[in-house]
Each structure stands twice: as structure tokens, then as C-alpha cells.
């Protein structure tokens, strides 16, 4: 029986017409990873409340064994494998339904933070081996991506069956960066390959590698 890997990407936001996360995630729909896992790709709205509602419905519907939420991080030049989701919404810009929460919890009475259960160091190492820029990121921000990451880890920690889950921020696609001076980007096929590698490491790594992935600031 095939097992499901749920990959999510976001709709465009902040006036953009593209979101690299959805462009790449949808390109991976139906692909097989390893012998028995298949990718299901789903789109999330860039809206604080609806994204979490939909994510929970998708987890119930697809019963995935692994969930990786993917978001676009403008200004970042590398794959950012996120380490920690915090229980905080502090939106610098409104979401797509004009909500702009400031200093509110993602979940009342939730823990302050959840850690990714993906093998984040092993993923960074594998991507680098393949010549793809990657780093551990210590913050997914305080906007919709962090809220989805937090809600995902909360959901995963409350399921009966074990589900490994985490969040990956990716750069702009070149076509998004073309009209923005000095904006970093990464070609779609490279990002897609990086996501496939991240998923296959997640399937094979029983535990994470003890490699330095820290930051001094």
C-alpha cells in the first residue's frame, strides 16, 4: 500500500502574482519518493485562520505519514530548513483576508514553541552534497508561515499515529526576482530536486545527524 507525503504550498500574497512555494510543490504532485511513498500536493491560503483550518482538514483527509509545509521567503538565498515554530502571530503586513494580528498566540494555552520533527541537519547536509545551498533556520518569522508551522506541529503532536512534520522556506524563483534589484532566487528545478532530496532523507534517516547548524545571531 502506498503511503502519503503531504506537501503544502501557499497562494501568492503581498500583491505578488506567483508564490514559489506553490509553483514547486504542485510540480511534485503524484511523484513517488522511495519505494512506497507518494506526494500529495495541496494549496493553502495565505490567511492566518483559513490556512490552519484547511491544513487540519487535509491531514484528516490524507492521513499522511510525513507533512512538509513549504513557504516562500523573499530575500533568502538558500533552502531554510526551519527548526522551531513559535506560538506568536505578529504580522508586518495584512494577510490575504486583511487580518493583521499583532502579538497574539497562534493557539491560546499552547506551548511557547514546537520543534520540527524532520531530520533538519541531515537534510541540510544532503542538499549541500548535491550542490544546493541550504541552512538550518532558527526562525520562520511571525507571519502566516510560522503560524502554519506551529499549527502543523500542534496537530502532529496530538495524533495517535506518528507523523513527522516540519517547515521549509524556499527562495524566490528567478522570474520573481527579475524585476527586483539584488533579490536572491533559485531555479524551480533545483528547488524541486532539493525538496525531493529532503523527503528521501526524511524517509531514510532514523535520527538526525549531530552536525553544527547553529547561528551566532
Active site residues: 82, 145, 169
- 167 is a site residue for ligand PCA (CB under 6 A): no
Q: For residues 72 and 117, which CB has a smaller minimum distance to ligand PCA in the complex?
A: 72
Examine residue 143 and tell whether it contacts ligand PCA (CB under 6 A): yes
8 near ligand PCA, rule: CB under 6 A:
no
CA distance 204 to 196: 13
List the Cα angle 93/195/122 in 5-degree steps.
Answer: 105
- Examine residue 170 and tell whether it contacts ligand PCA (CB under 6 A): no
Alpha carbon distance 210, 103 (integer Å): 34
Closer Cβ to ligand PCA, 14 or 203, answer by number: 14
25 makes contact with ligand PCA (CB under 6 A): no
Point out which span in 80-88, 118-126, 136-144, 153-161 binds ligand PCA (CB under 6 A): 136-144
String of contacts with ligand PCA for each residue 48-87, x by CB under 6 A: -----------------------xxx--------------
> CA 61, CA 84: separation in Å to the nearest integer?
26
Could you tell me how far CA 165 lies from the centroid of its own chain?
Answer: 9
Residues 6+ apart with CB under 8 A from 116: 81, 82, 83, 84, 85, 149, 153, 165, 166, 167
Q: How many CB atoms lie within 10 A of CB 210?
A: 7
The residue count for the chain: 217
Q: Rule CB under 6 A: choose which of 86, 124, 127, 145 binds ligand PCA.
A: 145
d(CA 162, CA 160): 7
Q: How far is the CB of 33 from ligand PCA (least distance, A)?
A: 22
Given the rule CB under 6 A, which residues bind ligand PCA? 10, 13, 19, 21, 46, 71-73, 141, 143-145
Amino acid at each position: 500500500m502506498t503511503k502519503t507525503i503531504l506537501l503544502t504550498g501557499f497562494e501568492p500574497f503581498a500583491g505578488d502574482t506567483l508564490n514559489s512555494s506553490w509553483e514547486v510543490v504542485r510540480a511534485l504532485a503524484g511523484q513517488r519518493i522511495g519505494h512506497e511513498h507518494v506526494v500529495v500536493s495541496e494549496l493553502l491560503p495565505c490567511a492566518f485562520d483559513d490556512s490552519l483550518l484547511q491544513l487540519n482538514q487535509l491531514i484528516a483527509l490524507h492521513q499522511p505519514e510525513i507533512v512538509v509545509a513549504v513557504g516562500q521567503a523573499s530575500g533568502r538565498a538558500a533552502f531554510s530548513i526551519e527548526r522551531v515554530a513559535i506560538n506568536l502571530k505578529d504580522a508586518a503586513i495584512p494577510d490575504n483576508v486583511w487580518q493583521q494580528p499583532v502579538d497574539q498566540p497562534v493557539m491560546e494555552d499552547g506551548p511557547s514553541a514546537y520543534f520540527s520533527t524532520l531530520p533538519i541537519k541531515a537534510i541540510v547536509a544532503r542538499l549541500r552534497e548535491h550542490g544546493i545551498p541550504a541552512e538550518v533556520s532558527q526562525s520562520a518569522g511571525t507571519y502566516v508561515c510560522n503560524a502554519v508551522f506551529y499549527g502543523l506541529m500542534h496537530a502532529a503532536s496530538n495524533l495517535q499515529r506518528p507523523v513527522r512534520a516540519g517547515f521549509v522556506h524556499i527562495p524566490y524563483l528567478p522570474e520573481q526576482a527579475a524585476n527586483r534589484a539584488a533579490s536572491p532566487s533559485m531555479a524551480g528545478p533545483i528547488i524541486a530536486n532539493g525538496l525531493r532530496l529532503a523527503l528521501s532523507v526524511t524517509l531514510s534517516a532514523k535520527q538526525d545527524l549531530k552536525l553544527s547548524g547553529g547561528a551566532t545571531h
